[in-house]
Amino acid sequence: MDAPSAGSTGTVLSERQRIAWLRLIRSDNVGPATFRDLINHFGSAEAALAALPELSARGGATRAIRIASEAEAHRELEAAHRFGARFVGIGEPDYPQALKQIDGAPPLLAVKGALAAAKRPAVGIVGSRNASAAGTKFAAMVARDCGRAGYTVVSGLARGIDTAAHRASLGTGTIAALAGGLDKPYPPENIGLIEEITAGNGLAVSEMPFGWEPRARDFPRRNRLIAGIALGVVIIEAAMRSGSLITARLAGEFGRLVFAVPGSPLDPRCHGTNGLLKDGASIVTEPADVIEALAPLAQLDLFPLSMAEEPARESRAITMPPGDSDRMRIIGALGPTPVEIDDVIRHAGLPASAVYLILLELDILGRLHRHQGGLVSLSD
């Protein structure tokens, strides 16, 4: 494991802050977006942790919310240390700079391997697990040439296309995004591959706790990491309703380039990629197509560093907590249809700070659903 990068711009968390951040993100109903709002409102993770019980009680919780303890956080940090890994915060120098710009970026990433891999511009390469020989060969060609052109190749460690992309870029640098904890790679047959990645020029990353066995619903979060880290993603042999198409959709939402390799209309593995081409994805018939399209982006400072200090840039704290009538007014303004928070503020006629605090109460209770683009709705 590399030491933190010397001379890089960013704010290094203190050990006390890292413990508090880990406790907060591991507490019930605190996801990345909720984490950000809690820090912005209360000024620090420690203050947010202290406020969680009152937030949940005011929101109408019938039982105490589970807050991760210091002992739990210490145990996870110790597990990371034993595994040769560590946690990197979103404002620290070694956090992937493209990833930090997306909505709901993970506040903390568990990382193991060569941190330099996260500092170069990256290209994602994903596709079918049941890939053809031609598909895996082409994936290796794209990964190898992109690596030689200075790009880190990021993929999801899956069988087929992902495996071919990782293996072809072992020498130049590759990032494996995991759906489970760093110590629970999937599939099992790629344990040797991830050991090669982290022992060489590559990096393994995960936002999940150590010991976490990946479940089906965790893989879209893994796909989000791939799309967020990369400047563009290349989709090779993706069937309809495949995870690779989720990666492509997320990449488009993040403003990344989406590339697709055409395939036979008779091959179900190519129906998804051919559909992407119909929808406007850039066609790829040789590695140069990807390298030339990414070149202007790699030369620009598209993702300037921002500081993630405590207290945060903005605090929405208010003197008095909102009353029940205010809370009911906000709940009445929400429904199953996603709306912008600014529209909720205008509709309710309340101070923005009061609205944000009530939304946090609902969020902690699991009653608020967050959508791409900052929209919110009431959960079912």
pTM of the complete model: 0.88
Q: What is the CATH number of the domain that holds 256?
A: 3.40.50.450
Q: What was the pLDDT predicted at 370?
A: 87
To which residue do tokens 């697709």 refer?
Answer: 260
Q: Is pLDDT at 117 greater than 60 in this prediction?
A: yes
pLDDT-based confidence at residue 7 (cuts at 50, 70, 90): very low
**Ranges 130-134, 246-250, 322-326: which has the least confidence:** 322-326
**Residue 123 located in a structural domain:** yes
Domain boundary among 264, 299, 334: 299
Query: How many domains would you assign to the chain?
Result: 3
The pLDDT tens digits for 162-211 are: 999 999 999 999 999 999 999 999 999 999 999 999 999 999 999 999 99
Q: The domain containing residue 230 runs over which residues?
A: 98-299
The pLDDT tens digits for 230-244 are: 999 999 999 998 999
Residues 105, 250 share a domain:
yes
Question: Can you list the positions of beta strands (E) in the chain?
Answer: 86-89, 108-113, 122-127, 152-155, 174-177, 203-206, 232-236, 257-260, 282-283, 339-340, 368-371, 375-378
Q: Is pLDDT at 10 greater than 90 in this prediction?
A: no
Got the DSSP string for 93-146? TTS-TTGGGSTT--SEEEEEE-GGGGTS-EEEEEE-TT--HHHHHHHHHHHHHH
Residues 102, 69 share a domain:
no
Residues 242, 110 share a domain:
yes
Q: Is pLDDT at 314 greater than 50 in this prediction?
A: no
Q: What was the pLDDT predicted at 8?
A: 52
Q: List phi, psi (to 5°) of 98.
A: -70, -35
Q: What is the CATH number of the domain that holds 356?
A: 1.10.10.10
Burial, 267: exposed, middle or buried (Cβ in 10 Å; 0-12, 13-18, 19+)?
middle
Which residues are within 8 A (CB) of 246 and not within 5 positions of it... i.e. 6 or more apart? Answer: 220, 223
Rounded distance, CA 262 to CA 367, Å?
A: 43
Residues 245, 342 share a domain:
no
